[in-house]
Structure 1
Amino acid sequence: MMKAVYKTEGAQLSIDILSTPQVREFIESHASVLDSSFEQVKMSDAMRKRLHRSDFIFSGIKTFHELNEAFPSLVDENGERKSFERFLNDVRSIDQTYNANYLRAEYNFVTASAEMAAKWEGFMQDGDRYHLQYRTQKDDKVRPEHAALDGVTLPPSDPFWAEFYPPNGWNCRCTVVQVRKSKYPATSHAEAMRLGDEALQRDSKGIFRFNPGLELKTVPDYNPYTIRRCRDCDINKRKFAFRPMNSLCEACAIINECYNDLSKSESAVVKKHYMREMEPLLTKKISVNGNGHPMSVGFSKYGNKHLYADTFGRSSVLTKDDLASLDSLLAGAKFIKKVSKSKPRRDRIERFYYYEAELHGRKVYLNVGETDIISRTGKIRHDRFLYSITDTIQ
């Protein structure tokens, strides 16, 4: 992952780095560590899938913070870029903090959350037939504030369980069990809420006031790596039409996309990454020689997909890493010839302009497609975009 960071340019870390294969692999590795904590816990497939998703999103947001913290270490005290070996050595402390110290507590929390989510799933099958009772481990390691909750008894439908269902903090070992109503009368709701507020008084931000079984998550949306607004964000409610408010929102959107890509083939994931890298080209226009007269050439989503495909067969020179800078290649290209279409085309391209350029010390040929757009008044406007790159032309 640090190799991917080292390759970045500019004064600010690009959010798109989260979708690179190296960072994706790192996020998946981190998430798999958390997932392993509940491999043997019995639960429904639906519950397990949702908990896996929660681990992946949490791991992705955590990785986003690691990347931001590591990025400034690329340059030394004189503003010069460090050697990779020095950079890697300098960020070892970040790795130790995030992936040893923090991860241990996170692993324990996810373990407890998954176990309690599975228990909640079982409780829901019985509805309010039984009461639920809060219990601690009753040893000298129990936090006094948690000990005050020991014995609180309420039906599953009571709102108390939405806020004070375990785990109620890092390394919390509390649990909840079903008890018979005839043997254990319900605690006053007001009293239970008072005890809950006292138990979580150190959680001044209210991070741990969540129920993993109700929310189907191992980690709450609002956690040490997110902000309070994340609790009500549409994307966490699985509504994906939302407007990012900041870099954290943008990162979250990409991480959610990456999770959705897990069910797709690796080739589809790689393609999506490079299509994202090519997006800035869609706003660019390059002035080139158009058979003796200047003309403007841009880029299109359709053309970019075709150019991506060129890296597999039509050109042995063009690589995927060249795709994001094709505007520069086009700007320096030399006009060769203009050719009209030889057969009907569904993409409405009427003619092609061929250009010669040099890439990696070898010649390549750029193919610009031109379409005719006729207005209501009969006026013809031309739309041109880079369509293909090949090693030879006829």
Structure 2
Amino acid sequence: MMGALFQEQGATLRIEILEDPAVQDFIGTHAGILDSAFQEERMSDSLRDRLSETDWMFSGYKAFHELNEAFPSLVDESGARKPFDRFLKDVQSIDETYNRNWLRAEYNFAGASAQMAAKWERYAEDGDDYYLQYRTANDGAVRPEHAALHGVTLPQSDTFWDTYYPPNGWNCRCTVVQVRKSKYEQTPHDEAMAKGAAALAKDTKGMFRFNPGKQKSAFPAYNPYTISKCRTCDKSQFRLAANIPSNQLCEACVYLQTNVCGYKDIPTTRGRVREHYSQSPDEKKENRSIAEYLANKYGYYIDLIPKVDSVKGKKNPDSYNHTLGYLQEYKVNKTPTYNALDMALKKGFKQADSLILRLDSEITDGVIVRALKNRFNMYEHAKDIMLIKGEKDVVYTRDTILSADFKIQQEDFK
């Protein structure tokens, strides 16, 4: 990564350095280390994906901070550019601080957050049928301020857990367990909140006042590599970046979410599928299934790309097919009606010129033909569509669909 920094020219660090392969490799490797902290933890796939996404963004912020701190070391006291060997020697201490001293604490925190998030997910299935009880490791290493919270007992719905759910600091070993209401008395809410405030009194920045289970995040929005306003920023809308366009961290945040790699490989028997951590959570499972089908059958190399529809003026296709060289949108038809199919086509062709449509309903061929002709007549940019039925598929081009004798033949599906 420092080799990429050494190639930088000019008086300020470019945001685009985050796109350099060496920087991407650092971010991915760092995120992978954090992910490994909860590899064996039992949780839903959706929660694991969200935690991995926050690990990746945290790693991206960290890389940007490290590069910013090392950037002045490119020149000597007189302003002359240093030789690479001297530059590398001078930034060695920075690298050691970020990636040896701090990484262990970050790894432990990611693991603790994930463990507590998984517990919260399981406890949510029972709601307030049980109380939740705060417990420390109950040994000589427990911080006195955390020891004061030991035994606090409240229902899961109590807002106390929004702020004081563990982990409550670096290397915090505290936990929360379910207990029977018949066995333990509920702690008065005001008393619990007072104990929580006292326990985290040293956390003047409020960094550890979050609930990883409710927020589905391995790290709080405000952490060593972000700013306090990140706590109230709706990153999906890039609100802070719009309000503070000159803030370099906000620019980096937008850039990380919309441009930089952040992909993980999805296992396939042929081809390759990479999924971006910020893929739309509502469509992730179906998109992954379609991409796996295409890769396994045709050997395609496919990226399931970031969700960017919150960025004004940008379309939001689901995938980029490297083998074919163009963007594609994925849709699934589950209701066998004209209106349902027409809506899928309408939404799909708003995002890309090429559409992959999986037919999971018993919709008739006649309805499909009518809907396709309607939308291809309306959208001049619509290029082609692949229909998938079970393990077979067919591609129809614009010219074929708009021809007078267009019909769907079952023998077309191969």
- In structure 1, the residue corresponding to 2:34 is in which secondary structure? helix
Residue 72 of structure 1 corresponds to which residue in structure 2? 72
Higher relative contact order (CA 8 A, sep 6+): 1
Distance in 2 separating the partners of 1:226 and 1:264 = 25
Match of 1:340 in 2: none
- 8 A Cα contact 2:74 2:87, kept in partner: yes
1:255 is matched with: 256
- Name the SS of the counterpart of 2:242 in structure 1: coil
Instruction: Tell me if structure 2 keeps the 8 A contact 1:57–1:259.
Output: no
Indicate conservation of the 8 Å contact 1:47/1:216, yes or no.
Answer: yes
Distance 1:29 1:141 in 2: 32
Q: Where does residue 83 of structure 2 map in the other structure?
A: 83
| Match in the other structure for 1:10 | 10
Report what 1:178 is aligned to: 178
Q: What SS is found at the alignment partner of 1:234?
A: coil
Instruction: Give the counterpart letter for 1:182 in structure 2.
Output: S
2:199 alignment counterpart: 199
Q: Which residue of 1 aligns with 2:190?
A: 190
- Structure 1 vs Structure 2 CA RMSD: 2.3
Query: How big is each residue's C-alpha offset from its partner over 1:194-243, in whole Å with a ceiling of 9 and x where there is no partner?
Result: 000000000011110000000000000011111110011121xx234651
- Following superposition, the deviation at residue 3 of structure 1 comes to 1.2
Deviations 1:218-275 (A, max 9, x none): 000011111110011121xx23465161100001111112366654699999x99xxx
Q: Which amino acid aligns with 2:237?
A: K
Q: Structure 1 residues 260, 33: CA separation in 2 closer, same or farther (over 3 Å shift)?
A: closer
Residue equivalent to 2:237: 239
Amino acid at match of 2:242: R
Q: How much identity, in percent, do the aligned residues show?
A: 58
Q: Which runs of structure 2 are paired with 1:196-345 in the superposition (5 Å)?
A: 196-235=196-235, 238-240=236-238, 243=242, 245=244, 246-257=247-258, 258=260, 263=274
CA distance 1:23–1:202, shift in 2 (3 Å): same
1:261–1:141 distance in 2 versus 1, CA, 3 Å? closer
Secondary structure of the structure 1 residue equivalent to 2:12: coil
- Return closer, same or farther for 1:13/1:36 CA change in 2, 3 Å cut-off: same
Which residue matches 1:122? 122
Change (3 A) 1:72 1:244: farther
5+ residue gaps, structure 1: 273-308, 310-345, 348-394
**Map of 1:327-366 to 2, 5 A cutoff?**
none
- Output the amino acid matched with 1:174: C
Task: Name the residue aligned to 1:160.
Answer: 160
Give, in whole Å, the separation in 2 of the partners of 1:81 and 1:187.
63
Task: Look up the SS of the partner of 1:169 in the other structure.
Answer: coil
**Which amino acid is the alignment partner of residue 243 of structure 1?**
A
TM-score (norm 2): 0.63
Residue in 2 aligned with 1:142?
A: 142
Count of residue pairs brought into register by the alignment: 272
Query: Based on CA coordinates, which of the two structures has the bigger radius of gyration?
Result: 1
Displaced runs of 4 or more, over 4 A: 259-262, 264-269
> Given that residues 13 and 68 in structure 1 are in contact (C-alpha distance below 8 angstroms), is that contact kept between their aligned partners in structure 2?
yes
Rounded Cα–Cα distance in structure 2 between residues aligned with 1:211 and 1:39: 20
2-side partners of 1:89 and 1:36: how far apart? 30
Which residue identity is paired with 1:250? E
Runs (5+) with no aligned partner, structure 2:
265-273, 277-299, 307-324, 326-379, 382-414
Q: What secondary structure sits across from 1:181 in the alignment?
A: coil
